[in-house]
Amino acid sequence: MQNTPVLVVDDEWTVCDYVARFLSSHGYAVDCASSGEEAVARLKRGKYPSLMILDLLLPGLSGLELLEYVKKTGSAIPVIILSSERQTRTVVQAIKLGAADYLVKPFENEELEFSVKTIMERQSLLREISSLRRQLADNYERDLVSCDPKVMKIKEIARQVADTSLPVIIVGESGVGKEVMAHFIHDFGERRDRPFIKVNCAALPNELLESELFGYERGAFTGAISDNPGKFELAHQGTILLDEIAEMTPHLQAKLLHVLQDGEFRRLGGKKIIRVDARVLAATNKRVEDLLAAGKFREDLYFRLNVIKLEIPPLRERRDDIPMLANYFFQKYRGLQGSTVERLPLELLSAFLHYSWPGNVRQLENAIRSYLILQDVNLVIERLNEARPQTDRVPGSLNLHAYSSQAAEQTEKALIAQALDETGWNRKEAARRLQISYRALRGKIKKWQMDKTRNNSPTEVI
């Protein structure tokens, strides 16, 4: 049985009473409003029903106007229209405005029951889909594992702007997680059910990049044997990530600026103006300020993109994240790769803590995957050293034992902080996840003076 509020909007008391009695007998909670103005007042007070049954002929604010108001507020309330046989044209208009169904007065009980039940089941399915998408978004959030205050602040800003259509520019060295941050913004925003399209601006020659972004018409160039939509069209009502945007030529920058300003463009070889509504996220590993000074990046485009700027710090500047990230990737890939390794060696963790990570989080992720395959600490360290000069190398394993206990404590504290954060500081649940006793967890919290209001990241080693 359902116990979800249904709002019946009809100026005929007999209709309201009949619908309310019938739906109440089927387990629905029902409210009535005798005018469109009364329904609007309810909505403005935050009283949103799960379904609205709306008569088209209302005094004052008409049913059609109320339906239009509901849809303009961005509400997902489904609406069933009640009409007479003479209102066919108006019913068609209501369906175009987004009405979920319509019933012609007088209607049978079975018609009303079937319509309401079908819509409620559809809404339940949409909630399940939304929940699954939220779980996907949570996966991206876990890939942004961090206890660093700067990164936590960036994530908070990203959450705040997720439901807007503002452009965002994400800056940081290669491998810090710019694309993961872009997914995070998309999957927590109102466009989460729409496409997420990524374009690597550095991967294609500029001639191909233009056709990739904006599409082309048949005959636009040799080999263009049919019309082809571009990435902007495919991202309509969704999100487009322009990765390595600093590699764009001035010509493409000018065309992109036009899209950002006016939301329209023409395909290559085309005359028709195409309008799109795509949220633009941009990413670069270069300092745009230096490019502006050198005249290699349009200032007006930068100002248009730089509404929100998220600068992700490199891994070497947030070493407290290393044990937490290492454990996350270890748990993530151990099952995927069918590894029998039960834990990361302290020698390897200590080496990680003293490495400069030029490839950032991506390099750490690959190092964990390598260890799960090779299961050789010295070989993984050797491979890390191959990418660094002699003066910037990780100590060999023979020199790492002095750091083992320190690395173990830092890792332990990072995992406890993560478990407490994920459980909302439910200590019993955190202890269960960590597979330690509640008393032991309390002792460690007291030892490290951890509490819910402070940053509980482990002390930096170097």
CATH of domain 144-313: 3.40.50.300
Binned at pLDDT 50, 70 and 90, residue 403 comes out as: very low
pLDDT tens per residue across span 72-114: 776 678 999 998 767 778 888 888 888 888 898 888 889 999 9
Q: What is the structure's pLDDT at 460?
A: 30
The highest-confidence range among 187-196, 311-320, 411-420, by mean pLDDT, is: 311-320
pLDDT tens per residue across span 220-230: 887 778 788 88
Q: Tell me how many degrees the CA angle 242-244-249 measures, rounded to the nearest 5.
A: 90
Report whether pLDDT(319) > 50. Answer: yes
C-alpha span between 103 and 105 (Å, rounded): 6
Report whether pLDDT(398) > 50. Answer: no
User: Does domain 5-128 sit in CATH 3.40.50.720?
Assistant: no
Q: What is the structure's pLDDT at 444?
A: 84
C-alpha span between 255 and 361 (Å, rounded): 34
Q: Which residues pair with 82 in a beta bridge?
A: 55, 103
Which helix or strand (DSSP H or E) is residue 147 part of?
none
pLDDT tens per residue across span 157-177: 999 999 999 999 999 999 999
C-alpha span between 270 and 252 (Å, rounded): 17
Q: Where are the domains of the chain?
A: 5-128, 144-313, 317-447
Binned at pLDDT 50, 70 and 90, residue 409 comes out as: low
Report whether pLDDT(461) > 50. Answer: no
pLDDT tens per residue across span 432-456: 888 788 888 888 888 878 876 554 5
Amino acid at position 49, single letter? P
Mean pLDDT (whole number) for 234-250? 92
C-alpha span between 99 and 93 (Å, rounded): 9
The two domains 5-128 and 144-313 share their CATH topology (first three levels equal): yes
